[in-house]
Structure 1
């Protein structure tokens, strides 16, 4: 292949502006912008200021970027802009170093370690539901963020975070993600005003992590101890900075995505009473009124389908990669160094892959229906070499928490306060006030 040649000319998405390109439209329209890209072609060119980014708009091409040519695509522009936060943590590295770190970390996120972590999840969920009172109005999204931050604290450090630590993480992590996305999409001169705020938020998260690491006891059987004691194939450990980077990665990735998913799950149960009734029936049969345990998870298939549907409907807005070698994407030749992107949200809402994509339908994940979903059309945990290593941890946590809450409580929306997605990189609820009602007082 001749570097830089193309088998066909790639269409540029309409609406490019001088100097700033498509950045204003992307940041203003977000989901609508990426949803329309497929109408312009399988591969289309979007300009972020002076930088061209090639969007793959079909499941097949997204799968190729994630999995089809392992090693051909590396982490891209978005990760570059978030590297200040995650350093050389697993989420922001590539190549042999990434493989080394993944091999060292993976045992801490697989069985039997996962079963120990799941016991912590169960105990934390029990504490949560015991703390609520009938008729109490919760800022439910914040309650779920605090819960997931607390679970990560217990599994990482074998300790409960105090209120200050939880509040700092909850306050500054969304800022890091939001401003990281702005930094990635905007030209350097346009992103300059956000850099100071981004750096301040990163520094605050790092300071909290450093304080907790410094104050922990050494005789603990937790994730941090696993990181400290891990050795690579040459018998070498991670240095202190690398341990810190991995802790920040696990803390942020392990709390934000699961907290957001649990928030939307109970919002959807409130919006879909038939779904809620089926989930409650299953939980009643398997769990009763006790906390859910790791052993219950295989016996909760409908609950797990509800979770899969939440992860479909409320997924990442965009993922970005960079060609590390000359590559053919579909029928387009791209030289090494080309920035490539796709929208998981657009793929998850494509009617060619998902019937009635705006409908919340857990039964689309029945085995016979799920088998018809094309590869690349459902990517909640990415895929390929960079498939999220914590996906089992997240699935256990969401299942155990959802079943434990549903065993005791029904969450009812507060009237007159509409809930809508606030798209950053993740999809946060703009608000989620809910009243907790004991299920024992409810009748169908």
Structure 2
């Protein structure tokens, strides 16, 4: 059966103008044209999967028939072969070696860093001060990931460079993924900024790795876990370690910074949500700091986080078929490009009624159980599910609890969105009002 072609195709450029101009407004509506819709990104033909069932097939049940797709090919010269970009046996080997860094006992140890960092940020705020919340949350996410990655004094130099450079890498990288390859060779300001940021970050992270090898001590941080890991007696090279560090930085900072900023915004915009959150925090915590052990009791806080991950996920990811694959009524040849959009899936009214409304009560056990597999994929699925998903969710819950137990954040103007790889909040100004 022929795959229907999406509307708004331009000569030569295909659907790239619609993707860049309308972003999620374009891709969220593609389910109206079928379970699989053809997109042309310039000369590249791709198949956009719109149904949860076929998404689950791509990510899980037929996941072994796919590898990373074209957008990841464009990142590889700059981001290497970490978990985000690698395939096959190398990917599985690296994943096995990295898993100990995200075991429960390690995350419980990282939780104290998360709470301490969030509390230090909240302590700097002053009554009635207007904060650019997205900037605060970016700084917070960089600090938390940086300090859990690198606990040594030299590691703090890396954290400072990461804070300076990482968002240039993330945002300019997504623009590169959507534009023809020749554009990245032009002397444009964005290209110069991207190349300079990658060069600076690589230099400082490799210095930290070499410093650790000279010391060889387990500092309880993620870097120590990576460098101590062995598979068949062999560890990671400096380059492999750097690639995995950059993967953790790009994947771990963006998701949590966006989720934290939007969660605080939504709490401030919805008085009932704010009231219920404060009531839960007062009941569970009283006047003390939140701990990792409190998370199971913070059920409404967790619902807020789940709803934030639904409303503000990454835009899309790509896969490439390794062999002929049957997806629904379509047969895709080997080498076919497939696009999955968590944003489109999470805003599909067939599974999330009134999808643009922020509604934490969607996440009751009964409603969650009724969702089809593949409808909610903020961290992907299958063997490529984000290894740091529990880390990220723990960080957002603990930070939200830490800040909301001290402050109310009141929006001073409507939220604005800057869409790159995900819906970034832009100019999210909120007034800090003490709770006590």
Partner residue, 1:228: 227
* Candidates 227, 239, 254, aligned match of 2:237: 239
Answer whether contact 2:321 2:334 (CA < 8 A) is retained: yes
* Equivalences for residues 108-187 of structure 1 within 5 A: 108-159=101-152, 168-187=161-180
Post-superposition Cα deviations, 1:70-94, rounded to whole Å, max 9, x if no partner, equal 3111111121122233211111111
* Candidates 283, 287, 290, aligned match of 1:289: 287
Partner residue, 1:424: 420
| 1:254 and 2:222 aligned | no
Answer whether contact 2:155 2:208 (CA < 8 A) is retained: no
Answer whether contact 1:88 1:242 (CA < 8 A) is retained: yes
C-alpha separation in 2, matches of 1:198 and 1:276? 39
Answer whether contact 1:182 1:191 (CA < 8 A) is retained: no
Partner residue, 1:435: 431
Partner residue, 2:385: 387
Shift of 1:35: 1.5
Partner residue, 2:205: 209
Post-superposition Cα deviations, 1:376-401, rounded to whole Å, max 9, x if no partner, equal 11100000110001011011111111
Shift of 1:251: 2.0
Partner residue, 1:331: 329
C-alpha separation in 2, matches of 1:66 and 1:253? 18
C-alpha separation in 1, matches of 2:67 and 2:302? 31
| 1:16 and 2:9 aligned | yes
Post-superposition Cα deviations, 1:276-316, rounded to whole Å, max 9, x if no partner, equal 11011001111123221101111101100000000000011
| 1:66 and 2:64 aligned | no
Answer whether contact 1:50 1:187 (CA < 8 A) is retained: no
Partner residue, 1:345: 343
* SS across alignment from 2:104: coil
* SS across alignment from 1:91: coil
Partner residue, 2:297: 299
C-alpha separation in 2, matches of 1:315 and 1:161? 33
Answer whether contact 1:228 1:243 (CA < 8 A) is retained: yes
Answer whether contact 1:327 1:334 (CA < 8 A) is retained: yes
Partner residue, 1:274: 272
C-alpha separation in 2, matches of 1:165 and 1:137? 30
Cα 1:277–1:289, aligned 2, differ >3 Å: closer, same or farther? same
* SS across alignment from 2:424: strand
Shift of 1:132: 2.2
Answer whether contact 1:154 1:160 (CA < 8 A) is retained: no
TM-score, normalised on structure 2? 0.94
Answer whether contact 1:318 1:344 (CA < 8 A) is retained: yes
Shift of 1:212: 4.4
C-alpha separation in 1, matches of 2:125 and 2:216? 34
Post-superposition Cα deviations, 1:151-184, rounded to whole Å, max 9, x if no partner, equal 1122111158999865643453333223322322
Partner residue, 2:308: 310
C-alpha separation in 2, matches of 1:296 and 1:147? 21
* SS across alignment from 2:64: coil
Answer whether contact 2:411 2:431 (CA < 8 A) is retained: yes
Shift of 1:255: 1.6
C-alpha separation in 2, matches of 1:371 and 1:160? 46
Question: Number of residues paired by the alignment?
Answer: 430
Partner residue, 2:75: 82
Shift of 1:195: 4.6
| 1:371 and 2:366 aligned | no
Answer whether contact 1:110 1:392 (CA < 8 A) is retained: no
C-alpha separation in 1, matches of 2:108 and 2:384? 23
C-alpha separation in 2, matches of 1:101 and 1:199? 26
* SS across alignment from 1:434: strand
| Unaligned ranges ≥5, structure 2 | none
Q: CA RMSD in A?
A: 1.9
* SS across alignment from 2:410: strand
Answer whether contact 1:74 1:94 (CA < 8 A) is retained: yes
Answer whether contact 2:277 2:300 (CA < 8 A) is retained: yes
* SS across alignment from 2:326: strand
Greater CA drift, 306-315 or 55-64: 55-64
